[in-house]
Structure 1
Amino acid sequence: MTASGTARAGFVRTLTGDVAPETLGVTYAHDHLFCIPPLWREKKLDDFMIDDVEASIKDVELFTAAGGQSVYDATAIDYGRDPVALKTISERTGIKIIATAGFNKAIMWPGQMAGTGGTFQAWIDAHDRAAIRAHVVREVTEGMDGTDLRGGVVKFGTGYNTISTAEDKVMRAVLDAHKETGAPIHSHTELGTLILEQLAIVKAEGVDPNRLTIAHVDRNPDPWVHAKAAETGVFMCFDGISRIKYHPESVLIDCILRLVKRGHEKQLLIGGDIARRTMYRNYGEGGLGLGYILESWVPRFIEEADEAGFDGRALIHTFMVENPRRAFVFRG
């Protein structure tokens, strides 16, 4: 450890300590194990309240029973992050959890920011890029939300085909925090829009795209956009699995295999982005649950990949074991 609390290069920061990347094992690269989004709570959107530690633990047990070992929880402060609850889930189930510093997206910022007496938008408007950078750095090096539990990823996000002035400021501040700490970066894209625009800013700020994972790329199943993004070296998270309302699984699998054919298999990550009670199996709604990807989707992917002439099992190992080791690592 350095004096500032930043992990030595080559480590992954989890809520139970810094670990060697090789210890992550089978990893979901985007999920929400516990979150109470302030804006959705104010609007009484109960389906978004993932607020029961015991129910979350039961679903995590489905994940571990299917072979899961680690989860990146992409819940930032504006989406209702609770590092203490996440650490409890980690300790009681044995999984490693990587938590999120930074912010999600402007649509969430009318919500109340705890400890400020105002909204997230008001706080962001009142602080310049340097102050936001310092805030995110503290979340990585000292602790989040008044605790000593530190974030292992820094996050920013953009809206649906829009980057507001405030989102642009936050994005650049988060990139600054990455430069200072060596933390990996995660970005939210609304329905998979502005992937290439985000990458243009990342490169303009002198950040290696290989340090970034872009979420929700499968919401916009455009092979040309995916190919252009992959050419930069960025990690791409396919986290819309089971969301048939957007696209059938066949579309996602086809997008993945197109990228594999182009030689980008070492940049692909898999997650569920489970963020609704109705998606969990143990929140009383009987959803598919946190085990679904490993229980059902992985066997299907292996079968389809094998039929297409690939080694499906080897690809899953690459996506869910090898790639997270590099995507979530701190580097100098």
Structure 2
Amino acid sequence: MGSIRTLNGDIDASQLSVTYSHDHIYCIPPYWAERQDDDLLLDDPTASERELADFYQAGGRAIYDATAPDYGRQVVAVAEMAKRQQVHVIATTGFNKGFLWSSKRPGSTQTFADWIESSSIDALVEHVCHEVTTGIEGSHYRAGVVKCGTGYNTISPLERKTMEVIVRAQQCTGAPMHSHTEMGTMGLEQAQIFRSLGLDLSRLCFAHMDRNPDPWLHRQIANTGAFLSFDGMSRIKYYPEHVRTQAILALCKRGYQKHILIGGDFARKSMSAHYGKGGLGLKFILADWRPRFIAEAQEEGLDGEALLYDFLVENPARYFAFG
């Protein structure tokens, strides 16, 4: 199946075990720091590490940390936490979405937008590939995923440029590829662009598919060969949890269970059990959502345990493996 690149070394895919496929551990996004939106700053390393410890205690063994450079990635600190807590953490390189790029790059007077606009595609590809093959920001820690993203119902010219960069980086390195979709929009439009660039879409995961719980859309995305990330568990502000579960089960009833990945997109202090907000914590999916999903799947005549093994173990092992 191949190897998976974690912050603390490459491992065989069979070693990955129970995996969250989209979360954030410790990050200080410059866009939100400039606007003093404290809830979106996971800036306490002690609290973040306690969340990792809870995750391990609940049975979790691996996390894809989807924090791109433009979202305040803190790779050295996260790698050290991961090692202490015996959790495999897979880091990302690349880009998030365009509205974040008005902020300055760390250690630079340039904004992310200025850098992307003024740099050639070749130079950006070289930069991203370096973070996969050599190291991130002068460290020896390497990224195991390449990432891009687009906005709500729109793809800006700069976002289109980063999409090409990340496809080329994926093709050069063999790394798995993650694409952010704002509120679950533009997935099919992204797929069309990726296909025109020659991407093997089986190497790709579309994030936030449950923000747009449209069974027809989900089937069309799965038909491209890509993975779908359902990563909004506990966000009742969008809709009841049952809606997400039904969207997942609708895919499973059509035979698409091998395309589903699970995560929490844990990214706010208010989601945390240790940042003083009294939140549900990083353990929520394994400790609380999992038994509910099993019960709802059983009500629909499906084996929830078997499905979760696919979502949390088998599918991540295939998706995160280089190839």
Check whether the contact 1:116–1:123 (CA below 8 A) recurs between aligned residues.
Answer: no
Aligned mates of 1:87, 1:122 — CA distance in 2: 29
Aligned mates of 2:83, 2:57 — CA distance in 1: 16
Q: Deviations over 1:37-63 (max 9, x none)?
A: 011111111111111111111111111
Aligned mates of 1:252, 1:327 — CA distance in 2: 22
Shift of 1:115: 2.8
Q: Deviations over 1:135-185 (max 9, x none)?
A: 101111111122121100000000001111000001111100000000000
Equivalent residue, structure 1, for 2:118? 126
Q: Which letter does structure 1 place at the counterpart of 2:30?
A: P
Give 1:150's match in structure 2, choosing from 136, 142, 152. 142
Unaligned runs of 5+ in 2: none
Q: Deviations over 1:68-96 (max 9, x none)?
A: 00000000000000110110110110000
Runs of 4+ with >6 A deviation: none
Query: How big is the alpha-carbon RMSD for the aligned residues of Structure 1 and Structure 2?
Result: 0.8
Check whether the contact 1:28–1:71 (CA below 8 A) recurs between aligned residues.
Answer: yes
Give 2:200's match in structure 1, choosing from 203, 208, 220. 208
Higher mean C-alpha displacement, 53-62 vs 71-80: 53-62
Q: Give the share of equivalent positions with the same residue, in percent.
A: 52
Give 1:322's match in structure 2, choosing from 290, 302, 314. 314
Q: SS of the residue aligned with 1:290?
A: coil
Unaligned runs of 5+ in 1: 1-8
Aligned mates of 1:153, 1:252 — CA distance in 2: 25
Aligned mates of 1:152, 1:268 — CA distance in 2: 19
Aligned mates of 1:32, 1:280 — CA distance in 2: 11
1:186 aligns with 2:175: no
Q: SS of the residue aligned with 2:180?
A: strand
Equivalent residue, structure 2, for 1:167? 159
Equivalent residue, structure 2, for 1:196? 188
Aligned mates of 1:163, 1:220 — CA distance in 2: 17
How many residue pairs get matched?
A: 323
Aligned mates of 1:112, 1:147 — CA distance in 2: 21
Q: Deviations over 1:167-215 (max 9, x none)?
A: 0001111100000000000010000000101111111111111100110
Equivalent residue, structure 1, for 2:250? 258
Aligned mates of 2:244, 2:73 — CA distance in 1: 29
Q: SS of the residue aligned with 1:330?
A: coil
Q: Deviations over 1:16-54 (max 9, x none)?
A: 000001111100000000110011111111111111111
Aligned mates of 1:115, 1:143 — CA distance in 2: 17
Shift of 1:114: 1.4
1:34 aligns with 2:31: no
Q: SS of the residue aligned with 1:118?
A: coil
Equivalent residue, structure 2, for 1:3? none
- TM-score, structure 1 normalization: 0.96
Equivalent residue, structure 2, for 1:6? none
1:85 aligns with 2:74: no
Q: Which letter does structure 2 place at the counterpart of 1:127?
A: S
Give 1:222's match in structure 2, choosing from 214, 234, 237. 214
Give 1:51's match in structure 2, choosing from 30, 43, 47. 43
Equivalent residue, structure 2, for 1:66? 58
Q: Deviations over 1:96-133 (max 9, x none)?
A: 00000101011100111013311101101111211111
1:248 aligns with 2:240: yes
Q: Which letter does structure 2 place at the counterpart of 1:34?
A: Y
- TM-score, structure 2 normalization: 0.99
Shift of 1:271: 0.1
